[in-house]
A and B are shown apart, each in its own frame.
Chain A
Amino acid sequence: MRFGAGLWCLQSTASCPRHPAVPYAEYLADARLLERLGYDALWLSEHHFFYDGYCPSTIAAAAGALAATERLTVATGMSLASMRDPERTAAECAELDRRYPGRFELGLGLGYRDVEFDGVGVPRKERAERRRTMLRATRRGAPGVPVWLGSALPEAVARAGAHGHGVLFSGANPLTLVRDLATAHREGWESSGRTGERPRVAALRNVWVTDDRAEREAVMAWFRASYVLYAGLGWAVPKRGETAAMDFTQEVDRALADAVSTAIVGSADEVAAGLREVAAVGVDELVFRVVVEGAPQAAVHEVLHRLAEEVLPHVADAEVVA
């Protein structure tokens, strides 16, 4: 089991206004702490043209955290594959892998906001083809860099497995969906007849360790607020099988409640029990969604400490990270 944290988005939002340089400074300090506590990975996220400065260049941001640390893996979850030149991106990935061997991992997302495609003159309908081109270019130009894809659709996840790519699942997905997707990924990999190490399944989870009732209420409120942001971005999870659709654009209140209901918040014992449930559905890497907008950095650091020291030693199959 690998443990990571994310997603660093480097925003300065309307609910927590701050100078745009502050999240960048905090990000580097966070990366150093993750490394010191023994976490495996830090995950970044990318969007373009959003009012809060949401990080538009995950590769540049990753390069910063890699330079600031010595062992930590820095992964993008996801870089938007349509928005960059494939050859230039492959060359950058190769350079990061040369400077920081084995420490950079590239997530390639399709993107979903029309304005992000339109802003750089890329037809949205080309996004799948462009991602295939990007995958070919990075595999050829930076063969040492693991590739992650993200989807909530079993057939797409199975294809990722069949191609040997890892998958990262949203923290808003209920565990039933995570289990179905992890199974699809494993079956895709096994049916491909590929050899070597099975690509990994990573799942974001809204996690917070606290014994304080007021803090528990606060973090739930801020988890909810974080999905208001995604409603603003226009993000949606399509309906699949027994898992209902989660359309932040249309049914904001219910979608927010559903997303927040997946959170694992409580004492160290409660969180360990919740994480064991997640591990049991076939997840190889837990990515703790602890970058909570309203939480002071000190509170985030406290949770990272407590997860590493009090929780992860008690998660099944977990290596002690602290």
Chain B
Amino acid sequence: MRLGLALPVGDEAAAAAAAEAAGCAAVLVEATGGAAVPAAAAAVVRTCLVRVAFPVRLGSDHPVTLAEDVAVLDNLSSGRIVAVVDTGDLGPEEAAEDLSVLLAALTPRPVRHDGSRWRVPAGLEGHRAPDRIEVTPKPVQVEVPVWIRGAAADALDPALPRLVADRGRVDPERRVQPAVAELAGTADALDADRDAVVAWADAGATHLLVRFPDPAEGLPLLGRFLAPEVAMPEFPRVIAEADPPPPWPGPARYVTPPQEARP
């Protein structure tokens, strides 16, 4: 299982950079509403390797417009975006239609959709327009990962991963099973945190996005103890219990990844 950081609302940029430096695989933007896209962009530009998962709330805009947000952020990040699609206030059928338009708009095919909520292109009177539109730019990724959550999630394509917050909802059969959980992130509570991440891994989660009350305190513990613990079965105790040498004298190892790793 791989670990990531759920980003504190309002402090995404610094927390994302710190998460990347700590070796996290991904960060999760928890800001919602109008804050989601700006927060995701802030996380993107301060990192160059981590995946950036951010909420896309169905019903908050035209699904084509939401897809354009996703595509722009995917280009801004050279292909590191995960869309966490939340069904919001939509009912099952509404959510299904919006999701299908969103997904269609993210493929490199022209889009044409005629449903109860949306008609794309709308073909409004007086417009001279083709009967299909190409939503551009296209995402960098061949397929932008889409994780589903929300009240109407069960009605949506079962093939898409579900982002769960309840360990009982982990499905070990899924190829991708992301989860989000709160940990203490303190040295005093290290054993409990270790037990928690092991429990998520044993349940079958593939990616655990961790909320820490204080990421500055929790991230070093994540990198040193928690991520290794769930990176292989029977993580050797001689490594878990060894005291690493003090940091190299002089400037910090690095604060941003090496230039070569930048997109």
Contacts and interface: CB of A to CB of B under 8 A. Distances in A.
A218 B244 CA distance: 11
Given A51-B228, A228-B242, A294 B257 contact: no
Interface stretch (A20-28, A92-100, A155-163, A186-194): A20-28
A21 B261 contact: yes
B168 interface: no
Given A21-B49, A229-B239, A232-B238, A15 B244 contact: yes
Contact of A228 (B227, B239, B254): B239
A17 B223 contact: yes
A25 B257 contact: yes
A29 interface: yes
Given A15-B224, A25-B257, A296-B251, A232 B239 contact: yes
Interface in B195-223: 222-223
A17 B224 contact: yes
A218 B248 contact: yes
Interface string A219-237: 0011011001101110000
Interface string B4-30: 000000000000000011111100000
Nearest to A21: B49
Interface string B92-116: 0000000000000000000000000
Contact of B249 (A17, A20, A29, A212): A212
B246 interface: yes
Nearest to B232: A51
A299 B232 CA distance: 30
A218 to B, nearest CB: 5
Given A15-B224, A18-B23, A52-B228, A231 B245 contact: no
Given A14-B225, A51-B228, A218 B246 contact: yes
A22 B49 contact: yes
Nearest to A229: B239
B243 to A, nearest CB: 9
Most chain-B CB neighbours within 10 Å: which of A19, A212, A214, A294? A19
A49 B233 CA distance: 9
A34 to B, nearest CB: 15
A234 B88 CA distance: 51
Contacts of B223: 14, 17
B126 interface: no
A219 to B, nearest CB: 9
Interface residues on A, range: 35 or more
Interface in A36-54: 49-53
Given A19-B257, A21-B49, A232 B236 contact: yes
B224 A25 contact: no
B245 A224 contact: yes
Given A25-B257, A297-B258, A225 B49 contact: no
A86 to B, nearest CB: 28
Contacts of A225: 242, 244-245
A53 B22 CA distance: 15
B231 interface: yes
Contacts of A233: 236
B69 to A, nearest CB: 25
A19 B49 contact: yes
Interface in A269-322: 294-297, 299
A14 B225 CA distance: 7
Given A22-B258, A29-B260, A52-B231, A15 B245 contact: yes
Contacts of B49: 19, 21-22
B127 interface: no
A35 interface: no
B239 A14 contact: yes
B134 to A, nearest CB: 32
B158 interface: no
Contacts of B235: 51
Nearest to A294: B248
A106 to B, nearest CB: 26
A216 B25 CA distance: 33
Given A19-B50, A29-B258, A229-B239, A221 B245 contact: yes
A252 interface: yes
B34 interface: no
B238 A252 contact: yes
B128 interface: no
A215 interface: yes
Given A19-B261, A225-B244, 20 more contacts: A13-B228, A14-B228, A14-B240, A17-B22, A17-B224, A19-B25, A19-B49, A19-B50, A28-B260, A29-B260, A51-B231, A53-B231, A222-B248, A224-B245, A225-B245, A228-B242, A232-B239, A252-B238, A294-B247, A299-B248
13 contacts: A14-B244, A16-B244, A17-B227, A20-B23, A26-B258, A26-B260, A49-B232, A51-B231, A53-B231, A221-B246, A222-B248, A229-B239, A299-B248
**9 smallest beta-carbon distances between A and B, as pairs:** A17-B223, A221-B245, A17-B23, A232-B236, A15-B244, A51-B231, A25-B261, A51-B232, A14-B228
